[in-house]
Structure 1
Amino acid sequence: MTETTGVPLLAMRGISKRFGGVEALVGVDLDVHRGEVVALVGDNAAGKSTLAKMVAGVLTPDTGLIEVDGRPVTIPTPAAAHALGVATVFQDLALCDNLDVTSNLFLGRELRDARGRRDDERMEQVARQILRDLTSRIPTVRVPLAQLSAGQRQAVAIARTLIGSPRIVVLDEPTASLSVAQTAEVLVHIEGLRDLGLAVVLISHNMTDVRSVADRVEVLRHGRNNGSFDARSTAYEQIIAAITGASRAPGARRVPLPS
């Protein structure tokens, strides 16, 4: 497990959210440190996506505190999240099949030269460097998205998060519907984000993926914290028990947080 010290880069305290008569989140806590992958797991309607959308600025909590690098913040919009260094990849990816890799990475954030013209050469240089950092196997940054596999498209979506030098990356089910080989490639990219010193929140239903790439597993059940586990040393059955409710948060082995 990655050694975590100091103030969490992302800290959420007592987060609650209600939609009409439904309590989606109730007093949820979450810490994520630099260079750490924290998997957020739970059954359907456990509150995972709701919590992720708060980090991304899509939803705002009814109550609770969010801190980034030890400072209380509000994240009312995706633009506010971006300004704080948060990048998110949702399941739909929001990529354009008719554009090449470089154009997708810089869509809406194109680089300009001194005369205000698109600087395609510099964007291609940056795109190649980002893909190298993630050890991506995409052959060229000029290939149209329509010609890439599902795993390669996910790699492009992850690479796009690095435009703008984020500090926190949220990935919502990044390996869903991928083949075994494509999943393995995406997991390497997630490890690459950690190696770059980013704080990564990974939402996933696939416990094999979670245990292979995450440092810590945080379980949500019915909108509440129900256990925090070391991803590498905790038995699969313990985590499943927390997800299903066979064990409860007070009895779950907690991972000690740095003082």
Structure 2
Amino acid sequence: MFMGDITSLNKKQKFRNAIKLHPEWNLTYAKDHTYWEGALNDGIDRGNQPYYCPVGWKRYALYVTDHFPEKFKGWCKCYHGTKFSYGLSILLCGLKPAEIAAHGKGIYVSPSINYVCHPRYSEIKHIETPEQKKVFKSGEYIQFVLECRVHPTNIKRIVKETLGASGTIIDSNINNDIIEWLIDDQNKDVVDFNDPDASIVCTGLMIRVTDNHPGLLPESDWWFKSHLCNTKRCCCLDIDFDELKQQKNKAHTCNIVYE
């Protein structure tokens, strides 16, 4: 049910109609699918920052514009974690500047998908309902993050992690001291992806489905050496933290589902 004036409703409907998928560019990032080691060197200009394989994730591409390679030549790839309840709003309206501005005012992203999938940034959801089971089949948990593009001139600062993980390795490809990017918010309350002058644009949804809690994945080991808590408004684990630690101590395992 919509509560508001007709002009606002028309604007929302216009945004909804503008969201289009681009399925021919959907990709699964894993061995035997789309995979590479080290920084990708395929001749495509993705700006002045390296692009590493987001192993374990499936990309659902969004249609952004015609002539995409020309329009976004030189734009860097990055990721932004979010909660499920915010995801549609972001796609419809755009990204807001961070409320907690540890490195200054702006939008926070990372070149590391392994960093932004920490439950402080990317909510974890248990797959429970019969309808969800029909879609995800053998999956038990799901996460998603936003794949974005940003022009290097809109990266205000490249800075260190802010999760108290200085004593561990978050991503073997990216040093902890350069794992966050602060993006120019253009002094706007929301950076609208539909704005041709937007400093950042969302180009895809990255989804990871697992057969157990993703905190048990080897690549998530660093979570337990960073800030992690039971407060839902802080870390969206969708499991009791003590229970997760018990499973980890008992060497429970987790696998990524590529259905």
TM over 0.5: no
Which structure shows the higher helix fraction? 1
Q: Which has the higher contact order (CA 8 A, sep 6+)?
A: 1
